[in-house]
Amino acid sequence: MQYYRYKDEKTIICLLCKHYCKLHEGKHAICGVNYNIDSKLVNKTYGHPSVIHIDPIEKKPLYHFLPSSKSLSIGTVGCNFRCPFCQNHSISQTNLIDESIVYSPEDIVNIAVKNEVESISYTYNEPTIWYPYAKDIGILAKTKGIKNVFVSSGYESQEVLEDMKSWVDAVNIDLKSFSPDYYKKVLKTNLDGVLESLKGFAKSDIWLEITTLIIPEVNDGDDELDKMAEFISSELGLDIPWHLSAFHPDYKMLDTPSTSIQTLQKAKNIAKGFGIKYVYLGNIYNDNSTYCYKCQEKLIERVGFDSNILSIVNSKCSKCQEFIKGVWR
């Protein structure tokens, strides 16, 4: 795809995310890493990752996508959100790029092949803002039989979302709140844009899971949890796994208390009340195994980030033969 379009002879519109930044010559987008240089969009993080690490796929978190597999995870710098709770703020809230670190797409894929991972995850900071680099890696990875995973805040442009369908296999999208004001005033984005992306992913062949960080006094009220659960159940689907994660003080929210297990369990009960079949609690010790929603057979046993498939055969519960939605091989 073309990653920008012209507004006039010297001004371009960035097409990577829903901000659709208008860039005059020499200026950068909200993310801080995409520039108008000679009337073309230049992504300055291309080839310069800030993090390369091998993670269990469960850490993304993805629980219904290649359980027990390893994923080569990479990130760069910059972000199109301004989350005050970001645990990766040292890379996401800076545009300082270490250009001495250079990894071509071929280098990244060679690392993945050498380490026999089943996927590459574009994560740690918002991958939408370095989409050209991610896509070049991903297209090459697919020729080696390696799948591609996006961990994102869900503010992809419509153009990028359509393009992702050609090479991305799974996404985990953050639904950070259901308050338009919170998205606009605090996160500096737009809730409707995220909801549009979620609907687009749910209608595509890309495997979708959702994560919500439950923050005390921010998004843990019954009314807001009801609205999120109702949206997921009615607009996206009851089979989509929803990860409810505990907040821990970080970045600009050091005075906010950690989320209690009682609050997470309340949120889970609300989700279950709307019929959502697979709800998991994250960042806290608890039973995160997957159970058949029909007969309650334990299908996947999880301890921390380690998982073991016990009772799924050909995408079905081996006890009652109920279909279990996911990507299991």
3-class SS letters over the chain: CCCEEECCCCCEEECCECCCCEECCCCECCCCCEEEECCEEEECCCCCCCEEEEEEHHHCCCCCECCCCEEEEEECCCCCCCCCCCCCHHHHCCCCCCCCCCCCHHHHHHHHHHCCCCEEEECCCCHHHHHHHHHHHHHHHHHCCCEEEEEECCCECHHHHHHHCCCCCEEEEECCCCCHHHHHHHHCCCHHHHHHHHHHHHHCCCEEEEEEEECCCCCCCHHHHHHHHHHHHHHHCCCCCEEEEECCCCCCCCCCCCCCHHHHHHHHHHHHHCCCCCEEEECCCCCCCEECCCCCCEEEEEECCEEEECCEECCEECCCCCECCCECC
Note the pLDDT of residue 82: 98
Note the pLDDT of residue 200: 98
Note the pLDDT of residue 24: 97
Note the pLDDT of residue 76: 98
Note the pLDDT of residue 21: 98
Note the pLDDT of residue 329: 84
| Model pLDDT for residues 16-64, shown as the tens digit of each residue | 999 999 999 999 999 999 999 999 999 999 999 999 999 999 999 999 9
Note the pLDDT of residue 180: 98
- The pTM of this model reads 0.97
Give the residue extent of every domain in the chain. Answer: 4-43, 51-288, 289-329
CA 282 to chain CA mean position, Å: 15
Query: What residues of the chain score a pLDDT lower than 50?
Result: none
Note the pLDDT of residue 294: 97
The domain covering 51-288 belongs, at the CATH homologous superfamily level, to Aldolase class I (3.20.20.70)
